[in-house]
Structure 1
């Protein structure tokens, strides 16, 4: 099967190449801000015309506001000699990156305002700051390849750049003809340059080691995951472990002279402030990297071992709104674990079942199916008053999740999701589905069960 896959490598550029990479990313930021300023000026002009009784034109009229990428490119090619006489120092892909970002941001803002875009409401795009925006640039045309020595990559106008690790996995696909590079994105984060190749890969069909096995995965805060098999994966708490160092660096950064004055003005940051800022970025990048590595190892093992993996549709954004729980939830990476399982189960030939958000996995007895009306978070052991079952709270929830695979098999193999599936939440062979009281108009919807 053909999939779109990314390969990410750390770079070891020379001083000249690092300066060229920074120049390309700066050019992308300049093009983004230039395009956004052009749009804002056109919108302000339209608002002024409305006050004078000028008839309103269609919102996405190319003659009035260049919403599309092609219109922005045309405007840029007309004005680049005047606004950026140094434009020839960088690849045209750098400016295309910034203009494409403006076009996408405006499209999302317009669709969100009209109500045609799902998800949270998107605001009007803001200008990118040199001190806050992560330097990034995307290449889609030109010489983009992996060198034969498997320790260098070649990018347009930048030449061959050495990588900190071997590129053999991607190189083998390119040599066999089972892979094709679509684009390359360079990004600076955590004090290092990275390149990500977006590729079209022809993956061989695989099967899990246990194609008929089912595992329920209960993600939590105390433990990273509890499986229905009884295995408990402890939560390493990378951010908590590094909190002392991060706190020290934040205090040190606050004592330095930063780019902003107490009254909100701008000034030149001190060298020590820049040094501490760089150290703080490296510390955060190390925490994120260790968390990402642990999640990849867990999800890869689950997808390669079990034919069916069942997880919950957790309201992670709602959990993050709880300030006393937000830091612990963010340190786990629940949404990232589900995202990785979504594509890894497909690659491994398995399937992922996502239980409905309102499925009472922790309140339901895995033995007899009785559902408790209330279960405090402090109760870490589930004790059933009907059948006398005593089990760990998270293990009981994982068993209930694993039992949902039978319900999906009985409903023509459809997968449960957050917007409702073929199986009612709590339905089980020989068990009545869990009932919910109807919600009255004007009342608040109850939040999903916390982990």
Structure 2
């Protein structure tokens, strides 16, 4: 399977200028292509009898060469693959929009999410050097895998530059200590397992929020575009990166532990966007990183030979008693201990939900008559029946 490899670059001022030029060319090509495709869509909407075929990435690149490059000679100072790959990414973004997977593509702004992709003569030289088209040889801080990447993506976060590419890795079937585990995600604790283990989130934003607010407050009167303003903006961006890195490191350690040591991991299909709409919970939900948790689990379970089960969103795991399977009608968010009125059972709310997720998956496996060799197939199936099983 393919995995992404990303590492930090060690560059000088000349190389930094070249990277910024390539980012500018890729951003200009994206914005030009986005404006053109929006005009085509508006024309087709207003004049349905004279529709224009929506251009492909190849069509956009041909028009770019014929119309834009003669008027913008600075395009020739950069690799030709930078604008070409930007237009391919734009076509992919429109395809996702037409399939209603994501929203309408947006225009890019200088200094935000700067990145570009290069393909062609990409070679790894030695342990920490990589050669890319037009720019030349770039050094890295850590050792590079000895592979032959077809393309690389160079991006900037704060004032630091990173290079990434895909590498082929083999699946590692690690020995599993537990067959099935239910994972309940929360705000007070990041994850509560059905085994009783509790993992607290990093809550990096809450810890560094006061420092971030202080830095932004000190920057309020600086003249925009001045040298001191740019230095302050770089410090703020580095602090944002630190917050995100601490959160991602916590999620990586947790997801790796789950995928390596458990044969089947059961989680809920959380409505993260709906939770973010609650102004009282939005900051805490964002600080935990629920979407990133699921994204990492999806590829790590494939890598380590385990399976991921996503229970139905409407499954009443928090309201169902793990002892007698009776569902409560009302359970407020402030009730942190689950008390069953039917059997008198009492347990921590998150642990009770995790046990419900585990039991539902265990019943589904035993009812289907699957053994450990067949569980890897189950991740391709629809597990909406878990909601019905928990109500029995």
Same fold (TM over 0.5): yes
Does the alignment pair 1:334 with 2:290? yes
Counterpart position of 1:261: none
Give the whole-Å Cα distance in 2 for the aligned partners of 1:15 and 1:185.
19
8 A contact 1:228–1:399 mirrored in 2: yes
| Range 326-335 or range 81-90, more displaced | 81-90
CA–CA separation in structure 2 for the residues paired with 1:400 and 1:356: 13
Are residues 1:224 and 2:180 paired?
no
Aligned to 2:125: 147
Give, in angstroms, the shift of residue 126 of structure 1.
3.8
User: What is the 5 A alignment of 1:103-142?
Assistant: 103-109=91-97, 111=98, 117-119=99-101, 122-123=103-104, 125-131=105-111, 133-140=112-119, 142=120
Partners of 1:299 and 1:337 within 8 A in 2: yes
* Residues 1:165 and 2:142 are matched in the alignment: yes
State whether residues 272 and 290 of structure 2, in contact with CA within 8 Å, keep that contact through their aligned partners in structure 1: yes
Verify: 1:365 aligned to 2:321, yes or no.
yes
CA distance in 2, matches of 1:118, 1:95: 26
User: In structure 1, what is the Cα distance between the partners aligned to 2:13 and 2:220?
Assistant: 30
Task: Map 1:51-62; keep pairs closer than 5 Å.
Answer: 56-59=49-52, 61=53
2:379 aligned with 1:381: no
Checking the alignment, whether the CA contact within 8 Å between 1:208 and 1:349 is kept in structure 2 is no
**RMSD of the alignment, in Å?**
2.3
Q: Is the 8 A contact 1:354 1:415 kept in 2?
A: no
Asked if the contact 2:223/2:229 (under 8 Å) is kept, the reply is yes
1:311 aligns with 2:267: yes
Mark the CA change 1:107 to 1:313 in structure 2 (over 3 Å): closer, same or farther.
closer
Report the counterpart of residue 239 of structure 1 in structure 2: 205
**Alpha-carbon separation, structure 2, partners of 1:249 and 1:298:** 31
> Does residue 16 of the first structure (1) align with residue 14 of the second (2)?
yes
SS at match of 2:199: strand
- Structure 1 residues 234 and 43 mapped into 2: Cα distance closer, same or farther (>3 Å)? closer
Task: Check 1:42–1:367 CA distance in 2 against 1; reply closer, same or farther (3 A cut).
Answer: closer
Q: 1:29 to 1:369 in 2, by over 3 A?
A: same
Per the TM alignment, residue 403 of structure 1 is displaced from its structure 2 partner at its CA by 0.8
Alignment-derived partner of residue 292 in structure 1: 248
Change (3 A) 1:43 1:422: closer
Per the alignment, do residues 134 and 424 of structure 1 end up closer, same or farther by CA in structure 2, a change over 3 Å counting? Answer: closer
Distance across 2 between alignment mates of 1:42 and 1:399? 53
In the alignment, the residues of structure 2 paired with residue 303 and residue 108 of structure 1 have an alpha-carbon distance, to the nearest angstrom, of 29
CA contact (8 A) 2:128 2:139 kept: yes
Q: Which runs of 5+ in 1 are unaligned?
A: 112-116, 175-179, 259-268, 434-451
Structure 1 427/189 Cα, relative in aligned 2: closer, same or farther at 3 Å?
same
Cα distance in 2, alignment partners of residues 349 and 164 from structure 1: 31
In structure 2, the CA distance between the partners of 1:377 and 1:41, relative to structure 1 (3 Å rule), is closer
TM-score, scaled to structure 2? 0.91
Measure how far apart 1:364 and its partner are.
1.1
CA distance in 2, matches of 1:43, 1:225: 45
Which residue of structure 2 aligns with residue 427 of structure 1?
Answer: 389
Verify: 1:185 aligned to 2:153, yes or no: yes
1:208 maps to 175
- Cα pair 2:307 2:379 within 8 Å, conserved: no
Structure 2 alignment gaps of length 5 or more: none
Distance of 1:193 and 1:202 partners within structure 2: 25
Aligned match of 1:95 in 65, 83, 90? 83
Deviation digits for residues 330-386 of structure 1 (CA, Å, limit 9, x no counterpart): 000111111111111111111111111111111111111111111111111112222
Label 1:423 to 1:73 Cα distance change in 2 as closer, same or farther (>3 A).
same
Q: In structure 2, do the counterparts of structure 1 residues 128 and 365 end up closer, same or farther at CA, with 3 Å as the change threshold?
A: same
Residues 208, 348 of structure 1: 8 Å contact kept? no
Aligned to 1:447: none
Task: Considering fraction of residues, name the structure with more helix.
Answer: 2
- Map 1:21-40 onto structure 2 (within 5 A): 21-40=19-38
| Alignment check: 8 A CA contact 2:266 2:308 kept | yes
Distance of aligned partners of 1:157 and 1:286 in 2 relative to their CA distance in 1, 3 Å threshold? same
Deviation sequence 1:59-116 (CA, Å, 0-9, x none): 4x2xxx5x2111011112223442211222110111113322332334444x1xxxxx
Matched residue, 1:445: none
- How many residues align? The count is 385
Moved more, 228-237 or 328-337: 228-237
